[in-house]
Amino acid sequence: MTATAAARLSSRPAWSVLDRRVTVLCLAVVSVAIGWTLADRSGLQSVSPAVAAAGIVIGIPHGAMDHLVPGLASRRWQTPAHLALVIGVYVVIAAAAALALLRMPDFSFAIFLLASALHFGWAETTYAEERSGDQIPEWRDGWWAAIAHGSIVVVLPLWSSEGQDAMRPLVPTLVDAVASVPTSWAISAVVAWCGATVIRLVARRRLLAAVELIAVLALFLVVPVFAAFGVYFGLWHAVRHTSRLMDALAPGESIHLQLKAFARGAVVPTSAALIVLTLLFAYRSNVGVVMTGVSVLLALTFPHVLVVALLDHHRRAGRPLSATESTGE
């Protein structure tokens, strides 16, 4: 493979058609959610849990391709033996995380929240840079923007009354510790950090990234927290990650073909996750079953974070991320 071809596969073209559509979709959905809240907050509040559930279901496929990412990084990992190894390691990490959540729920959930904040925040940072045609930054160059996005998605729900009421039955000690810090302090800290980040983004002429940060902040400040998270997870975070995978699966192809390639790879894991969610809902009156199910679902976040880190590493290093990689490299 030539250096030019490798570069084409390892980075996304700036402002592709897919990027434009994803950006418009994300901002439009957030605008609708905020507008709905301003027009009929009580109405949205009444369906907020349903919006959250819908967002989670919509977002499931974005993590269903994790087992194929190593194969996108190198053809050597596309063999059945290597694929089985990847899936095995993935399951072991998730199982260990689930066990930790069951045995040490408060401590493990705190680690989960930290990992989630870093994951959500870094995902926004990398997407914005790739969309602009720039290389994915090192952590030392983009941590400030990542913390801004991550704190919005994790800190604001964590310090909301709805969020604490939902988590208290599962992690009471952690919720008590969080509640000991005044909500106004937490919100003020997040808003101040985001304000400083917006100023820095504008100074770097990243105007769209600044607008998007303001949009996400407004979403979580204005919209009921469960609805805000559902909108963000399903129709912002998941959509952006999916677009990166679509580009890696079928670089240079039409959006239709990229979407078909993604659907083929994601259908089986997505179906399995939906079955688990269905069983979890059916046995929702059993606290033990619910805690086990929630722990398993949350535990999948840990290997997912590692897989996305691998994706970013190969993008940053300029290595090919495509099934068409030459075997003679």
Binding-site residues sit at 62, 119, 237, 241
Do 113 and 154 contact (CB within 8 A), yes or no?
Answer: yes
**Positions at the binding site for Fe cation:** 62, 119, 237, 241
**Radius of gyration over alpha carbons of the chain, in Å?**
20
Written as one letter, the residue type at 325 is E
Measure the N-to-C terminal CA separation of the chain; round to a whole number of Å: 7
d(CA 120, CA 174): 21
**Secondary structure (DSSP) of 41-66:** HHHHHHTHHHHHHHHHHHHGGGGTTG
List the structure tokens of 14: 């700036």
Do 324 and 20 contact (CB within 8 A), yes or no?
Answer: no
Nearest in space to 102 (alpha carbons), one of 301, 305, 289: 289
| Nearby residues of 221 by Cβ (< 8 Å), 6 or more positions away | 156, 187, 191
Nearest in space to 226 (alpha carbons), one of 284, 153, 288: 153
d(CA 68, CA 266): 9
Do 239 and 25 contact (CB within 8 A), yes or no?
Answer: yes
List the structure tokens of 185: 């302090």
d(CA 38, CA 43): 10
Written as one letter, the residue type at 37 is T
d(CA 139, CA 304): 18
3-class state of residue 131 by DSSP: helix
